[in-house]
């Protein structure tokens, strides 16, 4: 291995460490606790080293959002692939989405609530975000209904899931009724 290859590998490892540490800190103590100073202390590198990887917290949030989008896409696809019917796929997708949001609140915030400097629904949207939407579209497109654009239907269904996730986490909706909400969403919106 050349010196340059070793340096690139070490740089990539430091970047993964920064992202993993920020994610862990955000999940434990909230995004306000994620500062470059605190990250530098935790990973035992100087703040200038952090700034050589990320220009600031916004870029770290963006990196975590991309990581989370990839994880969510994989989880949704895995859940949907084991389902035997369109109804079961949509139900599995909804449950998996809501479970992901509940288990990873800081990552979910990075993906959809915080400014990570990422473009959504545009040509320059990063590939992991496009793929996360595609993972939803794969199951939801088949149940959009006659004359309904599959992408538009997916956006509306996604918006409903996002609302459920956000309102449940904020304790505006009681969590014990989540399964009934999923059933209603699948029955009435997806009509499968």
Distance CA 166, CA 174 (A): 12
Tell me what pLDDT residue 138 has.
Answer: 96
The helix-helix angle for 86-103 and 150-169 (nearest 10°) equals 40
- The predicted pLDDT at position 187 comes to 92
- The rounded distance, in Å, linking the Cα atoms of 27 and 135 is 25
Q: Give the residue-averaged pLDDT of 57-69.
A: 97
Q: Between the CA of residue 167 and those of 163, 174, 178, what are the distances in Å?
A: 6, 9, 11
Distances (CA, A) of 76 to 115, 136, 174, 182, 187: 24, 7, 24, 15, 19
Predicted structure pTM score:
0.93
CB-CB neighbours of 125 under 10 Å: 13
* Range name among 14-18, 98-102, 141-145, 187-191 with the lowest pLDDT average: 187-191
């Amino acid at each position: 291995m050349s010196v340059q290859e070793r340096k690139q590998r070490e740089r990539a490892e430091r970047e993964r460490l920064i992202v993993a540490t920020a994610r862990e800190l955000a999940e434990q103590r909230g995004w306000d606790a994620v500062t470059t100073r605190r990250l530098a202390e935790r990973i035992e590198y100087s703040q200038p080293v952090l700034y050589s990887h990320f220009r600031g917290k916004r870029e770290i949030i963006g990196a975590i959002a991309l990581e989370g989008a990839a994880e969510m896409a994989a989880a949704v696809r895995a859940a949907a692939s084991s389902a035997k019917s369109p109804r079961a796929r949509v139900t599995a997708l909804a449950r998996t989405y809501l479970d992901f949001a509940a288990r990873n609140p800081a990552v979910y915030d990075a993906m959809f609530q915080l400014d990570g400097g990422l473009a959504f629904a545009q040509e320059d949207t990063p590939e992991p975000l496009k793929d996360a939407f595609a993972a939803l579209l794969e199951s939801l497109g088949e149940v959009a209904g006659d004359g309904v654009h599959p992408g538009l239907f997916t956006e509306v269904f996604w918006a409903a899931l996002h609302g459920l996730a956000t309102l449940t986490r904020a304790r505006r909706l009681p969590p014990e009724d989540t399964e009934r909400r999923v059933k209603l969403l699948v029955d009435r919106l997806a009509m499968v």
